[in-house]
Structure 1
Amino acid sequence: MNIEVDQGKCVGSGQCVLAADDVFDQRDDGLVDLLNASPPPERLTDVRHAAAVCPSAAIAVSE
């Protein structure tokens, strides 16, 4: 699994952090901060959920 974030699209809603706080965090300015671009396979469901609930589609997940 590979994760990419587009901070230019991020609106700082924090939904990604709620879904997978070991993979995503928020910087001081509220934008997404990717903590782990290649998390273990058992995190796939939560990471995909984070991408799905992102209101600005700032998260891309590929396998």
Structure 2
Amino acid sequence: MWVRADRERCISGGRCMATTSDVFDQDDDGLVVVLTPSPAPEEEARVRRAAFLCPAQAIRISERPPEG
């Protein structure tokens, strides 16, 4: 699993960080920061839940590493 976040879409809801603070954090402006772009398998369910709960749909999950 690979995780990335679109900081342009983020509205600082904090649900991602509240769901799994091992993977997500917020910067000083309250925008999402991905701490662990390739989380451990035991985090996958929480990461998927965080993406589902994101009111701005700013979290993207893929099964392949990002290109480039």
The TM-score range, normalised by the shorter chain, is over 0.9
- CA distance, structure 2, for counterparts of residue 42 and residue 22 of structure 1: 11
Supply the RMSD in Å over aligned alpha carbons. 0.5
Larger radius of gyration between Structure 1 and Structure 2: 2
Query: Which consecutive aligned stretches of 4+ in structure 1 deviate over 2 angstroms post-superposition?
Result: none
Task: Summarize deviations over 1:4-62 as a string: whole Å, max 9, x none.
Answer: 10000000000000101000000000000110000111110000000000000000111
Q: Distance in 1 between matches of 2:57 and 2:46?
A: 15
TM-score by length of 1: 0.97
Residue of structure 2 in register with 1:41 after alignment: 41
The match for 2:3 is 3
Name the amino acid aligned to 1:61.
I
TM-score in terms of structure 2 length: 0.90
Q: Quote the residue 2:17 is aligned against.
A: 17
Return 5+ residue gaps in structure 2 as ranges: 64-68
